[in-house]
Each structure stands twice: as structure tokens, then as C-alpha cells.
Structure 1
Amino acid sequence: MVDATELNRLFWHSRRGMLELDVLLVPFVREVYPDLDPEDQARYRKLLACEDQDLFTWFMQRGESDDADLQRMVRMILDRVQPK
């Protein structure tokens, strides 16, 4: 279970100031993050430590991270919003 303080901190770290990232990360942290297993929660926190330009490239599918953990999290977030 994620405590409210951690969730609030993650919410603010998910707000990147770039609309393309905010519309992906903010809903994800609110709606999905609390139910992730601890390993995926750690991957999400690791993702938040990345530079905005890298995140933008990965989420706009103009490139992929060399880190499999980060790429897994990018894919998880994109799968949530892209039609199958």
C-alpha cells in the first residue's frame, strides 16, 4: 500500500511542465501506480529521474531507452492510452 505522502510526492514529480508528458504521467501515477507491484513502483520512480527530453523521445516513440526497466515502464504507460 502506498501512503498518501509518497503518492503526493510522486504526483508532483510526475508534473513535468511539458503537456505531452503531463497527460501521460499524472493520470498514471493517480490511477495505476498505487496498484503496481513494488518492482514496477521502483521502475516508475526510476523513470521520474530521467531527463524530460529523454522521456519525450521515448513516449513519442522516436526512440527507446537502453534500460529494459525504463522501457518496460514506458510501454506500460503507453499501452494504457493507445488503442489496441
Structure 2
Amino acid sequence: MLELDVLLMPFAKDVFPSLDPVNQQRYLKLLDCEDQDMFQWFMRKTEPQDQEIKAIVDYILERVQPA
């Protein structure tokens, strides 16, 4: 899904290398999720049930859309 690529590719390139190992694992776990689920999470229509995935989704959203 192009929208996810636009969000996740720069994050992977610019931020992933500096993440601590826990968040790197969370990010890799996120990549195993269904595109439609991820799209819903990043559009803030739903939240992941898995707290590990929720943590990395929230982190990515904070980086992309600072409060």
C-alpha cells in the first residue's frame, strides 16, 4: 500500500537504525501485520490490540505528527 510506504520507508531509513533493540523488534513485528490493519492504525481509526505494536505505532505517529 503506497500510503504505508510513504510513512514507513523514511522511518525505516532515518529512525530505525537509532531505535533501541526493543523498539526495533516492535517495528519488525509491525511489518508482519496486515496492510489494512496498519492503515487503520495510522489513520487513527482503530488501535492495535497488541500493546507492543500499539507502542511502535504511537511512536511512529509522534515522529510524523508531533503534538
TM-score, normalised relative to structure 2: 0.94
Q: Which runs of 4+ in 1 moved over 3 A?
A: none
Structure 1 unaligned residues grouped into runs of 5+: 1-17
What is the aligned partner in structure 2 of residue 69 from structure 1? 52
Corresponding position: 1:44 with 2:27: yes
Rg bigger for which structure?
Answer: 1
Shift of 1:83: 3.5
Q: How many residues align?
A: 67
What is the aligned partner in structure 1 of residue 13 from structure 2? 30
Give the number of the structure with larger relative contact order, counting CA–CA contacts within 8 Å between residues 6 or more apart. 2
- Aligned-pair identity in percent equals 58
TM-score, normalised relative to structure 1: 0.76
Alpha-carbon RMSD: 0.8
Structure 2 unaligned residues grouped into runs of 5+: none
Residues 2-50 of structure 1 deviation map (CA, whole Å, 9 limit, x = unaligned): xxxxxxxxxxxxxxxx121111100000000000011110000000000
